[in-house]
Structure 1
Amino acid sequence: MVAVPWLSPPGGSSLSIVSTTGVLGFPNPVNEKAARAVAGGVALLCILTLLTGWEWLLVVIAAGFLARVLTGPRLSVLGQLATRVIAPRLGAPIWVPGPPKRFAQAIGLTLTGLAAIAGLGFGATMLASALITVVLVFALMESVIGFCAGCWLFAQLMRVGVIPASTCEACNDVQRRYGRQPVEVGPLQTPTTAWKAESTSQAE
Structure 2
Amino acid sequence: MASSRFPSTVDDITVRLIAGVVLVVALVTLGTQQWWLYALLAVDFTLRAVLGPRWSPVARLVQRWVRPRVRALPVPTAGAPKRFAASIGAVLTVAATALWVVSLATGSSGALTAVVVIGVIMVAFPALESIVGYCVGCALFSVLMRAGLVPEEVCLDCADISRRIPKPAQV
Worse-matched range after superposition: 101-110 or 113-122: 113-122
Q: Deviations over 1:35-57 (max 9, x none)?
A: 00110111111111111111211
1:87 aligns with 2:53: no
Greater relative contact order structure (CA < 8 Å, 6+ sep): 2
CA separation of 1:194/1:82 partners in 2, compared to 1, >3 Å: closer, same or farther? Answer: farther
CA separation of 1:37/1:200 partners in 2, compared to 1, >3 Å: closer, same or farther? Answer: closer
1:143 aligns with 2:123: no
Select 2:96's aligned residue among 103, 115, 125: 115
The answer for the alignment partner of 1:158 in structure 2 is 145
1:70 aligns with 2:18: no
CA separation of 1:85/1:28 partners in 2, compared to 1, >3 Å: closer, same or farther? Answer: farther
- TM-fit CA distance, 1:136: 1.0
RMSD: 2.1
Q: Secondary structure at the match of 1:36?
A: helix
- Residue identity over aligned pairs, in percent, reads 32
Q: Which runs of 5+ in 1 are unaligned?
A: 1-19, 172-191
- TM-fit CA distance, 1:152: 0.5
Count of residues paired in the alignment: 158
**For the residues of structure 1 that align with 2:34 and 2:118, how far apart are their CA atoms?**
15
Q: Which runs of 5+ in 2 are unaligned?
A: 105-110
Higher helix share: 2
Worse-matched range after superposition: 100-109 or 47-56: 47-56
CA separation of 1:97/1:194 partners in 2, compared to 1, >3 Å: closer, same or farther? Answer: farther
Residues 65 and 106 in structure 1, CA contact (< 8 A), matched pair in contact too = yes
Regions of 4+ moved over 6 Å: none
TM-score, scaled to structure 2: 0.84
Q: Deviations over 1:37-93 (max 9, x none)?
A: 110111111111111111211100111101110222212121012222222332210
**For the residues of structure 1 that align with 2:61 and 2:117, how far apart are their CA atoms?**
28
Q: Secondary structure at the match of 2:134?
A: coil
TM-score, scaled to structure 1: 0.71
**For the residues of structure 2 that align with 1:44 and 1:194, how far apart are their CA atoms?**
35
